[in-house]
Amino acid sequence: MIRQQKAGRKTPCLRQIYLEARWLVSSTADYASSRKVLDHMRQVLAMKQDPHGREQLESDGSFAPCCDAWWLKLDMTCDELITMSYKWQEPKYPVKLFDAVNSPEKLTAYMDTVLVSDVRKTGIDHARELNMAVASDLQRFILYEGTLKELPTKVDLDPKLRETLLQYEDTKWQDPKTGMWGAWYRSADGTVVKTANLSITFHVVSFRDGKGVHHWPQLIDTTLAMKNERYPFGWLEEGQYPSNHHNYDVVRLWHLGWSQASGQQRQQIGKEIEGMLDFCLHKSLQPDGSFNSPEEDTVSSAFYFGVSLLSEAGYFSKKNRFWTDRSFPESEEVRQRIEKRIKAIG
């Protein structure tokens, strides 16, 4: 898929199939469905172009004709509606996917369903769904409602969803010991283990713009302490090498919580960001303006997280340089090089 992307193929349908396959293979014991989706992906890869583009389905209002999981349809639809909102456009059909969660009772019941995974019993690890559907998509749909960031769903959301979501996150889900959010797991003896998940925490905090977040000192301490651990419980991809994606998540959290950081924490943060920029600019960024990011699932996401890290750390603009007074005179040349490569590959 990535080779064909680099050759100029548009892959909206292929990426939907890939994401469903990745979830089924890595997070479930549903081998029959895994084989079915993998076979489907092989068939579409053999075609000259994707059988579907970015069209909306009238049946459920989603923009995901190539996958079946409700939460993946929600995630793909969220991406499309974000793009439409930037263009002051709205979808042709209402997003009926929200029927499943459009009341405080339905929303709470759904979050309860995916918060705790009992893998021995169900054969499903809900962490990925919890991260994308709740921490990412529902946060944006619900918390952006009535703001300049509102997404055009053509659906009237229950006004009590906002209070329900925030109360759930703050009083039930966040772990005060670590300051973080994560997937919970039921162990063999019935006890529940709470994890500190970097990606889930990033999404919860980022889409709240850091507002109303509790336990900042613990959250910052935890992000610093997990430096050498494997993602999603640390910064390292596969426990071996740095990642612009995970580094961006950490820097975004620190940026939003900077006012709550102690002097010692700020010193540690500054030292770590220096190392992250060194990795991004001298190991990940290539001479042609592309990023070497083997952990990313598309060419565009490799660009997205490389640029996002540099932007969040204030490399391109002094207004984001929350952690240092240092200047970066070479940044304009770097920006032009990246932009030129993006345009060159279409």
Rounded to two decimals, what is the model's pTM?
0.93
| pLDDT above 70 coverage of the chain, percent | 100
Whether 58 contacts 93, CB under 8 Å: yes
Q: Which of the 8 DSSP states describes residue 97?
A: G
Question: Looking at 193-197, 293-297, 300-304, which range is the least confident one?
Answer: 293-297
- HSE at residue 224, side-chain half, CA atoms within 13 A, is 20
pLDDT the model gives residue 57: 95
Return the pLDDT at 54: 84
Mean pLDDT of 293-297: 81
pLDDT at 6 over 90: no
User: For residues 19 and 39, what is the distance between their CA atoms, to the nearest angstrom?
Assistant: 14
Q: What is the pLDDT of the chain when averaged over all its residues?
A: 96
Q: What count of other Cβ atoms lies within 10 Å of the Cβ of residue 42?
A: 10
- The band of 238, judged by pLDDT with boundaries at 50, 70 and 90, is confident
pLDDT in tens, 113-169: 999 999 999 999 999 999 999 999 999 999 999 999 999 999 999 999 999 999 999
pLDDT per position as a tens digit, 178-233: 999 999 999 999 999 999 999 999 999 999 999 999 999 999 999 999 999 999 99
163 and 205 in contact (C-beta within 8 Å)?
no
- As a whole number of angstroms, the distance between CA 7 and CA 19 comes to 21
pLDDT at residue 2 in the model = 87
- Span of 27-31, 50-54, 119-123 with lowest mean pLDDT: 50-54
Higher pLDDT, 346 or 226: 226
Lowest mean pLDDT of 22-31, 43-52, 216-225, 289-298, name the range.
289-298
DSSP code, position 98: G
Task: Answer with the residue of higher pLDDT: 3 or 323.
Answer: 323
Task: Provide CB contacts within 8 A for 264, sequence distance 6+.
Answer: none
